[in-house]
Amino acid sequence: MATAALIVAILALLVAFLTMRRATGLQERLEQTTSQLYEVRSTMSRANETFENKLNDIRLQMRRQAGEAIFNPSMTIADAMSVHPRVTEVLANFHLGGCSHCTVSDVDTIEGACQTYGIDQAALMNALNGLVSGGSGGTAGPAAGAKMLDAVASDTKASDTKASDTKVSNVKVSF
């Protein structure tokens, strides 16, 4: 009887060992699959960002060809930001969304934000339209801020060519 119990115990240990090896193998496969999934998600995010940028460029070109105003006072801040990637810099030059004291909601209109914060609407519109007409944009705001943002943008472009994954996420300028 003791021999039979010993054989059963050895078989149970063998089954447990094989089960652990199988579980370890499955865990490794799960980790590999998870890693691949993250890589695919990252690639899809980059592709989506590229697609959105190209789509915005096409929309901008269509508006130009149709002779439509690119920026108008009745458009929301969110709509304006979707037109050009540097709109946030121009708004920051005019103290709209550049710091915690100058917050502006995405659902506010350009006109409403100008009225609320006492911003020269014509100067802001000229700066925004300067972005799409090939100008530097934002030059009507405080000169020091515009020069600093242009320097940061050129540094960012230079560093993007060296390391495409490195980006400047947030630039705050105080006056």
pLDDT > 50? residue 35:
yes
pLDDT-above-70 percentage for the chain: 72
Per-residue pLDDT tens digits for 120-148: 999 999 898 888 776 544 444 434 334 43
Every domain of the chain and the residues it spans: 1-68, 73-165
> From CA 149, how far away is CA 93, in angstroms rounded?
9
> From CA 49, how far away is CA 55, in angstroms rounded?
10
Per-residue pLDDT tens digits for 43-95: 999 999 999 888 878 887 887 788 777 888 998 888 888 888 888 888 888 88
- What pLDDT score was predicted for residue 149? 41
- What does each C-alpha distance from 48 to 53, 54, 55, 65, 78 come to in angstroms? 9, 10, 10, 25, 18
pTM for the structure as a whole? 0.46
